[in-house]
Structure 1
Amino acid sequence: MTTAKLGNVLSPEQKKQFDQEGYLLLRGLFAEDAARLREHFMKLHADAPAQYYRPVGPEESGGDILKQYPRMMHPHRFDELSKSYMLHPKVLNALADLFDAAPVAAQSMFYFKPPGAKGQALHQDNFYLLVEPGTCIAAWVAVDDADRDNGGMVVVPKSNQLEVQCPHEADPSVSFTRDEVDVPPGYSPVPMDMKAGDVLFFNGSLIHGSYPNTSDDRFRRAFICHYASEKDIRISHWYKPLYRHDGSEFEIEMSESGGPCGSEHIVTGPH
């Protein structure tokens, strides 16, 4: 199949930063779309299609606000708007430059993160996706302003140059997922303060995460997708099928293994 040419939208300096630091923040890429995404996913939450998404009421949540607003996994499998943004040309063109190859979409997610919600312990995405021989890249779209108060993203620059680490158990009082990796000596976490519509791209080995939402009344909603490239030959079986830019399915070998740490098949999921 002939693939249309993508890319040629990033500057050499942007590509260099991504290669060296492991991340690239594109300001305002979806500034005009953030309100639409926010309203759309709040409606999906209210409608709660039971076969795909199961929030509970306050009386059943046991005081855990994330049980009332759980993350929405793979919405592109049942929602056309989600799929259209997962395959949006603005994202795919940037990814083509970052991969130096045509990207293929593997996953979509929506995080609501209301006030009082836990964060997610520091982790590396390719621990879960198991993309080989390269790695995955995430596109993290801020749907609200995201900062230190409402649990914005934290990245560890240059940790993309490290191998994927085997995690230890995270502190359940501050993280809703169980896996955590340590920040190695000589590296430091950096907060990524973002405006609604900004998009953060980051390498699958980059250590990143978020802290709890300690604000009184601010959600920190985000639409997140993960991608491999057409040069890759293998990915975890949890992410089938993958999609090209035109919506056609991309055939790739599915890995059934637990990866180098032996536990990646127990999916708690990236971000």
Structure 2
Amino acid sequence: MNTDALVKEGKLQQQHIEFYNQYGYLVAPELISLAEIDALKAETAAIFRGERGMVEGLMPVTPGEPDSEVLRKYVAIHFPHKISPAIFRFLSHPQIVNILAGIISPNVKCMQSMLFVKAPGKKGQSWHQDEYYIPTRDCSLTGAWIAIDDATIENGCLWIIPGRPGHIMRRVAYSGNEYADVDTVDLQGLQAQAIPVEVKAGSVVFFNGYTLHSSLANKTNDCFRTALVNHYMNAASMLPWDQDGKLPPTEDLRDIVMVAGDDPYAWKGVTEANAPYLRPEVLKIKVDAER
């Protein structure tokens, strides 16, 4: 991995901003303390045990059932910050927000959280660009991928193709065994540029909404690859996001959380449009791949 991509001790420098603008990603090694990571692990178990409120699809927990067996039943939950005060606080984690303010804008809002619990044997996520799913008007979409476990090639770490393509790339049908998706980006010879992003628990990977990324299956027998992923953007940009058709069309979805600076659209107020939901094993979101 290019050393210019590493934000050591959370100290963002001008060269990091320039690197992000060109290559679309940054890695902040062990940005989050181990005590905070331990708390996130406990919170993850509590959420999937139904202790933070019931979400449709959560299964009953038998007495004495260990956390590992509970978590093996699931892939991920979207919008956990809406039922978990601990996850909600992480949206505005000072160390994360400091970097976001440098690579996006002094004014930053968050529109989504996702809590992944990739258990041994679970499939990965195919190549994609987040902007395809969450459209912004100024290309400022940024993911903050927080490693709750060590992420390795064996347990399904992120893979990234450095760069920020200036367009949404063509998607094609996928029918293999590596990904839990029915389509993927047509890489057209870009595969050789892909790099694994292996990180220790507590590290945070930042990547732009146009940057290509994926993750492979967890091929271990006993290692989870749990991660909290929050999505942010420039607060000055409106958000025409209908949650993949789940919500009425809108020019500016106001189900957001301000994490830094000022909200130019504060006069619109905020809404509670989204609710937590469990991610399905096979993902068929916005499928329009050529077949």
TM range (shorter): 0.7 to 0.9
Question: Per the alignment, do residues 231 and 9 of structure 1 end up closer, same or farther by CA in structure 2, a change over 3 Å counting?
Answer: farther
2:125 maps to 1:124: no
SS at match of 1:85: helix
Q: Within 1, Cα distance between the matches of 2:205 and 2:51? A: 28
SS at match of 1:47: coil
79-88 or 112-121: which moved more? Answer: 79-88
The alpha-carbon deviation at position 172 of structure 1 amounts to 5.4
Segments of 5+ residues of structure 1 without an aligned counterpart are 1-7, 59-64, 255-264
2:141 maps to 1:139: no
The aligned counterpart of 2:25 is: 23
Residue 110 of structure 1, aligned match among 104, 108, 115: 115
The aligned counterpart of 1:37 is: 40
Alignment-mate amino acid for residue 114 of structure 2: M
RMSD, matched Cα? 3.0
The aligned counterpart of 2:55 is: 52
Residue 208 of structure 1, aligned match among 202, 209, 213: 213
Do 1:137 and 1:227's aligned partners in 2 also have CA atoms closer than 8 Å? yes
The alpha-carbon deviation at position 237 of structure 1 amounts to 2.6
Q: Within 2, Cα distance between the matches of 1:229 and 1:113? A: 30
Residue 244 of structure 1, aligned match among 242, 258, 267: 258
Alignment-mate amino acid for residue 132 of structure 1: R
Give aligned-pair identity as a percent.
25
Do 2:135 and 2:240's aligned partners in 1 also have CA atoms closer than 8 Å? yes
Residue 185 of structure 2, aligned match among 176, 181, 201: 181
The aligned counterpart of 1:228 is: 233
Alignment-mate amino acid for residue 201 of structure 1: F
Q: Within 1, Cα distance between the matches of 2:217 and 2:56? A: 22
The aligned counterpart of 1:192 is: 197
SS at match of 2:152: coil
Deviations 1:30-66 (A, max 9, x none): 13321111111012112266742524489xxxxxx98
85-94 or 239-248: which moved more? Answer: 239-248
Kindly report structure 1 stretches of 4+ aligned residues shifted beyond 3 Å. Answer: 48-51, 55-58, 184-187, 246-254, 265-268
Alignment-mate amino acid for residue 243 of structure 1: V
Deviations 1:198-257 (A, max 9, x none): 000000000001000000100000000001111212331326401112799955999xxx
2:170 maps to 1:166: yes
The alpha-carbon deviation at position 106 of structure 1 amounts to 0.6
Q: Within 1, Cα distance between the matches of 2:269 and 2:173? A: 31
Count of paired positions: 244
